[in-house]
Amino acid sequence: MTDRPRLSDATLPLLPPGIGRVAYERGAARAGIVHLGLGAFHRGHQAVFADDALARGYVGWGVVAASLRSPETRDALAPQDGLYTFALRDGAKVEARVIGSLLRILVAPEDPEALVAALADPNVKIVTLTVTEKGYGIDRATGGLDRADAGIAADLRPGAVPSTVLGFLAAGLDRRRRAGAPPLTLVSCDNLPKNGEMLHRVLREFAAEKDEALGRYVEREIACPSSMVDRIVPATTEADREAIGALTGLHDAWPVLAEPAFDWIIEDRFAGERPPFEASGVRFVEDVEPYEHMKLRLLNGAHTAIAAIGRLAGFETVPETVRHPAVQAYLARFWAEAEPTLSIDPAIARAYREALLPRFSNPALPHRTAQIATDASLKVPQRLVAPLRERLARGESVAALTCALAAWIRSCGGVNDAGTSYPISDPALMAWTSRPKQPLAPAEEASAFLGFEAVFGRDLMQNDSFAAALREAVSDMAETGVLATLERRFG
């Protein structure tokens, strides 16, 4: 309802009691963080902790946030002075506050220089990234830089105006290096294993190819601690906008709604100052890998399975999918397979896993299965194939993980079990050169997918019993539908 006054610095006093308002002088805040990838996740996670820090008087920890592609978020937030409403939703409970930590919003393609300058600002201490699995320019066969990627190749050309994440980082770092600015810490917040190590490697390779001295600078001066982030933040809907407007009395063109649960666990390896986020519950640890495996395999793995199952069964959302008893029985088996592959204290893993079904069932967060299915082929390896491979090596059963993969393979067909088509958003799947162009018989389709090396590696197609089980699961799902298959096997 656009006849409500627009949220902005000037209208903040109109907020009704009970809505958290910006509790600091925004004009006095300075940017200590540059964030790349201004999606809902950043605004429901890192930006909230920065807001907490500003409210506690750490005035140097505001955020300059950059969208790398579209101006949509900037266009929505600019008339609001960068303010937005952040609402925690748990069933019927809502807790909302206005976040003021985004001090400036950049749209990289419109003004690449502004982003390079922000990265080079000596007051900036950390760069956080939520650029999704496909944002890093990784060659999935080697784990190194994907020089064949058109954007990377263009940014590597001498004198290129950057357009990719690595291009911007390298340009900003080069300027810092030449100006003798303090070293920087880059914190990847994407769901990738060893995300810091991975970022450091591709950035080092990119930088060295640009200029050897820059490569050495990245190697020596730039810290890339790995981090595990967690919070379910579905894409905002029209209904959300209306609900927030009704709650706050102000029109917010792009509020963010999320669940109360969250985690941000960061390796304690900073090149300079560490963000003062502990009071918000952010944890600094020596080794993030046990947490990262737990989260990728228990939460994200189940998410990817649910997304595929939901799409095939015609369920639009996660809560709708997990309400089905066959899916619940299946998830119990899924977690029973994934959990023993973790290296974390079993009591921590158990508590984490036990909270997942209630988190997924939160009726106030209709997280769309289509959203989670986006870029699934880049998610399946670390979420499903890695634990499966480890279990196979130990001779353990993989019935549930195999069904998750079978459902994913079936879901790539873009037609659900009732025969209705749906769109697929997965450029890496489309770019897979051996992708079957014609519809295949289910067993052949499973065999063809086993040749998708970026997903399955080279080893799994040699494993006859696994290959046979996958073919059988795909055939079963094609014949009787996904829900009946799960019911028969796990019900």
Which chain residues interact with ligand CS2 by CB under 6 A?
191, 230-232, 299-300, 303, 371-372, 379
H or E element, residue 175? helix 165-179
Query: How far apart are CB 299 and ligand CS2 at their closest, in Å?
Result: 6
Query: How far apart are CB 263 and ligand CS2 at their closest, in Å?
Result: 8
CB nearer to ligand CS2: give 163 or 280: 280
Query: How far apart are CB 373 and ligand CS2 at their closest, in Å?
Result: 8
Residue type, 405: L
Q: Token pair for residue 3?
A: 């006849």
Evaluated on CA atoms 476, 480, 481, 484, the torsion sign reads negative
Specify burial of residue 231 (Cβ count, 10 A radius: 0-12, 13-18, 19+).
middle
CB nearer to ligand CS2: give 305 or 406: 305
Query: How far apart are CB 90 and ligand CS2 at their closest, in Å?
Result: 15
Q: Provide DSSP, 99-122.
A: E--EEEEEETTT-HHHHHHHHH-T
Strands 93-99 and 256-258: unpaired
CB nearer to ligand CS2: give 227 or 447: 227
Query: How far apart are CB 377 and ligand CS2 at their closest, in Å?
Result: 12
Tell me the CA end-to-end span of the chain in Å, nearest whole number: 46
Query: How far apart are CB 381 and ligand CS2 at their closest, in Å?
Result: 13
Name 116's Cβ contacts closer than 8 Å, sequence gap at least 6.
Answer: 162, 168, 171, 172, 175
Residue nearest to ligand CS2 (CB): 303
Query: How far apart are CB 102 and ligand CS2 at their closest, in Å?
Result: 20
Other CB atoms within a 10 A radius of the CB of residue 143 amount to: 13
CB nearer to ligand CS2: give 22 or 299: 299
Query: How far apart are CB 7 and ligand CS2 at their closest, in Å?
Result: 26
Q: Which residue is associated with the tokens 């018989």?
A: 441
Instruction: Give φ, ψ of 409 to 5 degrees.
Output: -60, -50
CB nearer to ligand CS2: give 84 or 352: 352
Distance CA(82)–CA(65), nearest Å, equals 10
Residue type, 80: Q
CB nearer to ligand CS2: give 206 or 264: 264
CB nearer to ligand CS2: give 156 or 349: 349
Distance from the Cα of residue 470 to its chain's centroid: 28
Encode 258-310 in three state secondary structure. Answer: ECCCCEEEEECCCCCCCCCCHHHCCEEECCCHHHHHHHHHHHHHHHHHHHHHH
CB nearer to ligand CS2: give 8 or 371: 371
Describe the crossing of helices 442-450 and 399-411 by its angle, rounded to 10 degrees: 100
Query: How far apart are CB 371 and ligand CS2 at their closest, in Å?
Result: 6
Lateral strand order in the sheet of 126-129: 102-107, 62-67, 31-36, 126-129, 185-188
CB nearer to ligand CS2: give 129 or 145: 129
Number of residues assigned to the chain: 491
Distance CA(241)–CA(84), nearest Å, equals 11
CB nearer to ligand CS2: give 9 or 375: 375
Buried b (16+ CB within 10 A) or exposed e, 293-316: bbbbbbbbbbbbbbbbbbbbbbbe
Query: How far apart are CB 484 and ligand CS2 at their closest, in Å?
Result: 26
Residue type, 355: A
- Of the candidates 273, 139, 267, 147, the one whose C-alpha atom is nearest the C-alpha of residue 197 is 267
Query: How far apart are CB 181 and ligand CS2 at their closest, in Å?
Result: 32
CB nearer to ligand CS2: give 191 or 485: 191
CB nearer to ligand CS2: give 67 or 191: 191
- Side-chain half-sphere exposure of 24, counting CA atoms within 13 A: 22
Query: How far apart are CB 96 and ligand CS2 at their closest, in Å?
Result: 20
